[in-house]
Structure formats: C-alpha cells, structure tokens
Amino acid sequence: MKLTDRIIVALDNMNEEEVCTFLDKSKQTYKTVKIGLELFYLLGPDFVKKIHHQYGVDIFLDLKLHDIPNTVSKAIRSLRNLPVKFLTVHLTGGKNMLSEALEEAKHSLPDTKLLGVSFLTSLGAHDFKEIYNFKETEVKATFSNLFKLALQTNIHGVVLSPLELDIVKNEEKLIGKKLIKVTPGIRFADEINSNHIQDQQRIATPEMAIQKGADFLVMGRSITQGMRTF
C-alpha cells in the first residue's frame, strides 16, 4: 500500500468551498478524508454523500460518540445508509455502549468500521495529571486497559496517538489478534523540529508511525493549508 493510501486527510478548519477546492486540486491523491464535528454540524449528512459521490473518496466520520448506550445506538441509527467507511466512538463509554454501538451498526451501517477513540492527542502529561491525577506509568496502564476492552468487544479498530503504538503491538502479540490502528498527531519532521504542531501534544512523523505499526495516519492542516504531499 502506498503511503498516500494510508493518509486520512482531515477537512478541519475549512468551509464547503475550501473543501471542494482542495479535493479538486489534490486530484484523488488521497483515498480517504475525515469529516469531523465542525463540518458535520455545519453541513450535515448531505455533505457526506456529496463528497463521497462527487470525488470518489472514502469517508472517516469522526463524531467521537460518547453517551449512554441507548443514545449512542440511536445516534448511529440516525446515520443509516450514509456512505461511511469509518465512524468513531469513545472507548471510555464502556463495554455496554460499545456493544450496542456495534449491534446497531450491523443494521444501519453494515459497511462501516467502528473505531474506538482512546485518549485525545491534544492531551499531554499535565492534562492527564490535572484531569485523572495520572502519573505517566498510569497513563500507559489505562490505555492498555482501553485497548483490551476494544479487543473484548470486537470493535474493528482504535484511534490512538503514535506514542501508544508500542503498547498495542505488545497486546496484539499476547492475544494473537489485530485491530485497525488509526493514528492522529502526525506532523512532518520540519514541523516538529520548529514546534509547529498546533494543538497536538503526542506526535510523530508519518514514517515513525508507520514503522511502529499504524495502518492509517490522520493529517489535516499540514496537507490542506500548504498543499504539501509525499
């Protein structure tokens, strides 16, 4: 698989016109794009359909669903038959929420892979201490628990920072099962060296993340604002 086939381009901080301009210029260089909360709230399901059909791209719908099981199930039902390749839910919603999400997706989004979000890549050591009173070693242990939960529920994949990929690799070896691994927090080397990383904290270059076992990489402004490619 080519590196560009692994890139999921985040269409963040863009309006509809800017999205279409980018997709026209990129000329199908990238197979998958991410529509997050901002664009989905602004333009809705019809925009998902338009982008998929007009530009032939797969859709990563990054809604990070997190609520009581029944509410998440009904939220997925409301997306019925949307052309979505990946949909995100929070692993911290717990086993029952994940199980009900998977069950509803079988009926409403049968061609969609559910991905469990672990910890946001915008969280750093200070945030983990402030929110959870976690030490660094406890962050790793808690992530390991979240990944085991993903394995137990048979969710299709996980969204994780590049720093947790080594933990996943070890867990997968122990259990003998692999999940799809989608990694945000990806920046070009020169951006990292110049500390031009926006709101991301736990980051890596594309090459580093692939080497550590990532299947897909989420990149946004690094590509969309500078029209940079590989």
Tell me, what's the pLDDT at 187? Answer: 76
Name the phi and psi angles at 78, rounded to 5. Answer: -70, -15
Return the CATH class of domain 3-224.
Answer: alpha beta
For residue 162, the model assigns a pLDDT of 85
- Read off the pTM: 0.88
Structure confidence by residue, pLDDT tens digits, 8-30: 999 988 999 999 999 998 877 89
Query: In terms of C-beta density within 10 A (0-12 exposed, 13-18 middle, 19 or more buried), how is residue 192 classed?
Result: middle
Q: What is the pLDDT of residues 145-198, one digit of tens each?
A: 888 899 999 999 999 988 888 888 877 877 788 899 999 888 776 555 555 545
Q: CA-to-CA distance for 155 and 157, rounded, in angstroms?
A: 6
- pLDDT interval class at 141 (50, 70, 90): confident
Tokens of 161: 């920072």
* Domain residue extents for the chain: 3-224
Q: Is 64 a catalytic residue?
A: yes
Q: Catalytic pick from 27, 34, 49, 64?
A: 64
